[in-house]
Structure 1
Amino acid sequence: MKAFGFLSFGHYGHGRGPGDPDAAAMLRDAVEIAVGADEIGVNGAYFRVHHFVRQSASPIPLLGAIAARTSAIEVGTGIIDMR
């Protein structure tokens, strides 16, 4: 196999209920998942953009944070949800 990546559909919820992640938790989780994926040799990490969900409405800062913490993984957006 030449390449293997993953597409994250993110967290769902409003960050207000028990166990419902807020924006900070979603971003920390996404960075840690990508760091772990990079460590085991995954080639790509792609994130869905939720324009109307505050946890992941702006992917560029998230992708920049992932790029700063990883060494070989490719990052990008996989789906742009234009509800």
Structure 2
Amino acid sequence: MTGADRLRAEGRVEGRVEGRAEGRVEGEAKVLIRQITRKFGIPSAQVADTVRSAGTAQLELWADRILTATTLDEIFAP
């Protein structure tokens, strides 16, 4: 295997890892939007965009908060 072959192989592995991570974040966002919809009704485009643009740590925090939240504001409070 040449150096170029190794670099290509490493790039493919990195691409798969990044793709899986992005897929997990998208899945977490999708579940949270579904939970919001079931609990509070269809979210506004702004709420949906906020959820879709969040990272894993933020999504996990909001996923925990939705369990006890009585309003959307309680989920997204700083």
Q: TM-score, length-normalised on structure 2?
A: 0.32
Q: Which has the higher contact order (CA 8 A, sep 6+)?
A: 1
Q: TM-score, length-normalised on structure 1?
A: 0.31
More strand by share: 1
More helix by share: 2
When Rg is computed on C-alpha atoms for both structures, the one with the higher figure is 2
